[in-house]
Structure 1
Amino acid sequence: MGPTGCGKSKLSVDLASRFFQSSEVINSDKIQAYRGLNITTNKIPLPERRDVRHHLIGEFDSSESHPEFTPSDFRSAASSVISQIHSRRRLPFIVGGSNSFIYALLAKKYNPGIDVFTEARNPGSNSAPFCRELRYRCCFIWVDVALPVLYKYLIKRVDDMLDSGMFEELSEYFQNRNLKCGLNKAIGVPEFERYFNGDDVDKGVAYEEAVRGIKDNTCQLAKRQLGKILRLRDEAGWEVKRVDATAAFRAVVEGRRVAEIWEREVVEPSVKIVKQFLME
């Protein structure tokens, strides 16, 4: 678990490929579940998966009859994949930043008509609408990065994505996109709407506005995701183990070597957490 850009995918592959090799990854990022816009949605590239099997990533197209992959859809699809992984006597890793998907999958009693993260508390009550009981025995690892450091990294990451072909990918998308496609909600699509579809638009100004919007909205998304993790820990009572990746991301932002810091501060504590969980 963790906000966008915190290294969840990298950590899961580090764990699954080196320490828990009988593991498979299930994506729980609702935008990455859709097919297309691989750069814009930050799907982990195939070489970086290191032969670890991934599920529910880039597998879905939307249609007029089913325009959105919902938390209920994820509960059903991920439950089926977990059963398959268990039948192979392997370990499922749920990896992604969509906490609404994680809650939908794991809550023993789940009401698809209620968004627990926006539902108001009952007047005069301190209780939240969260279900505290889980459907599975779970080990939660929260990859945390101090927000000021994470913001700097996310701004840098947007520039790197643009250098890697994000603009060209979006240009092709706007030429061919399905107006009902769930990918329309991906950060980058609404921000570039005016650039690609606006009439009499100053392209230079529109481009700069789009890039600035992507950076701002990505940082705001990270802040919202962090808030949801804290609610799952504090209000739902889920036992979330925090791993601090701030030092590693500060090194990335400052252009210093990060591998040793990532190993020491993130991978090693996570390995201990998972091993302890499996021994219990």
Structure 2
Amino acid sequence: MPSTPTTPPIVAIVGPTASGKTALSLDLAQALDGEVVNTDAMQVYRGMDIGTAKLPPAERRGIPHHVLDTLDVRDPATVAEFQGWARAAIADIRGRGATPVLVGGSALYTRAILDRFEFPGTDPAVRARLESELAVVGSPALHARLRELDPPAAERIEVENGRRVVRALEVIEITGAPFSANLPVQEYVDPRTVQLGVSIDRETLDQRIAVRVRRMFDDGLLEEVSRLLDEGLAEGRTAALAIGYRQAIAVLAGEMSVEEAIEKTSVATRQFARRQLAWWRNDPRITWLPYDDPERVTRALEVIRAV
């Protein structure tokens, strides 16, 4: 993603789920004549709207959005593929003289897009063996093995995310190095990159998450998931892992009550937010802006224009 002094910068907004990133992205896109690039791993799926807090088209203020609603729920998606899609969108936006504003909750995806990150190779035989083992012993057992081999990687990968656990174990086996050693280094592909973080205290964040999750179920998450199951959601290797969707599937299967699903989704979302923060807290390049600062747009623009 090469640039010149006249090329618009790349702006990325990071921060935990429910902190207010979306509103800031729209404000900045408007101020910068920009376009939004989604960096949420699950918002690429058509029909996954309520459970991903996807902004409806009518609320996008006429701002173009990219890497959104591009896959069916049966389609798998990898970080490497996402990196390619997002970088292509960024190049196109900047080529037209507009400013790309990246926003989404998937920390690894954002880092893979912004930073120098070469993906390790794959070994089909190793992958097939690990996937067969996953089907027999389950994701928690493989995650426990990953925690023994590479605690930092295990900390960043959900226990239930068998696909990513398998990938981490595969990389460890074929490279002889920890999976975490293959994660992005803190070096931007393009130096004209700005990361802005939305900071929020834990108590307020937890309250916001609780409100958001209950609203999702009130707004029809179960109906959305029922429709998506007819479209193949349960067979999807990526989409079916989304927080909220797993719990809704359990409700529809009679394995969990709605109230249990709301509580489990809230807990999982809070845990996800902690993992998000673990990615960002050690990145000194991020300028943090309080979620409730009335001047946060002005302050953000000052940081961007200084690049």
Tell me the TM-score range normalised by the shorter chain: 0.7 to 0.9
- For residues 217 and 273 of structure 1, the distance between their equivalents in structure 2, rounded to whole angstroms, comes to 33
**Among residues 240, 245, 248, which one is paired with 2:286 in the alignment?**
240
| Residue 188 (structure 2) pairs with residue 134 (structure 1) | yes
Q: How many aligned residue pairs are there?
A: 242
Q: Could you tell me which residue of structure 2 aligns to residue 197 of structure 1?
A: 253
> Secondary structure of the residue that 1:82 maps to in structure 2?
helix
Residue type at the aligned position of 1:55 = H
| Residue 154 (structure 2) pairs with residue 154 (structure 1) | no
- For residues 37 and 128 of structure 1, the distance between their equivalents in structure 2, rounded to whole angstroms, comes to 30
**Among residues 72, 82, 104, which one is paired with 1:96 in the alignment?**
104
**Among residues 226, 246, 250, which one is paired with 2:277 in the alignment?**
226
**Among residues 97, 100, 118, which one is paired with 2:153 in the alignment?**
118
Q: Deviations over 1:28-84 (max 9, x none)?
A: 000111111211111111122101110001111254xxx421110011111111111
| Residue 29 (structure 2) pairs with residue 8 (structure 1) | no
**Which structure 1 segments of 5+ residues have no match?**
249-261
Cα pair distance change 1:178/1:97, threshold 3 Å = closer
Q: Could you tell me which residue of structure 1 aligns to residue 137 of structure 2?
A: none
> Secondary structure of the residue that 1:37 maps to in structure 2?
coil
- For residues 151 and 193 of structure 2, the distance between their equivalents in structure 1, rounded to whole angstroms, comes to 20
By how many angstroms is 1:119 displaced? Answer: 7.7
CA contact (8 A) 1:110 1:131 kept: no
| Residue 81 (structure 2) pairs with residue 73 (structure 1) | yes
- For residues 152 and 115 of structure 2, the distance between their equivalents in structure 1, rounded to whole angstroms, comes to 13
Residue type at the aligned position of 1:153 = R
> Secondary structure of the residue that 2:273 maps to in structure 1?
helix
> Secondary structure of the residue that 1:34 maps to in structure 2?
coil
- For residues 60 and 79 of structure 2, the distance between their equivalents in structure 1, rounded to whole angstroms, comes to 25
- For residues 92 and 268 of structure 1, the distance between their equivalents in structure 2, rounded to whole angstroms, comes to 18
TM-score by length of 1: 0.78
**Which structure 2 segments of 5+ residues have no match?**
1-13, 123-149, 156-175
Residue type at the aligned position of 2:189 = R
- For residues 75 and 25 of structure 1, the distance between their equivalents in structure 2, rounded to whole angstroms, comes to 15
| Residue 61 (structure 2) pairs with residue 20 (structure 1) | no
By how many angstroms is 1:128 displaced? Answer: 9.2
By how many angstroms is 1:148 displaced? Answer: 1.4
> Secondary structure of the residue that 1:139 maps to in structure 2?
strand
Residue type at the aligned position of 1:271 = L
| Residue 256 (structure 2) pairs with residue 210 (structure 1) | no
**Among residues 54, 71, 76, which one is paired with 2:65 in the alignment?**
54
CA contact (8 A) 2:16 2:273 kept: yes
Which stretch shifts more, 68-77 or 160-169?
160-169
- For residues 55 and 227 of structure 2, the distance between their equivalents in structure 1, rounded to whole angstroms, comes to 20
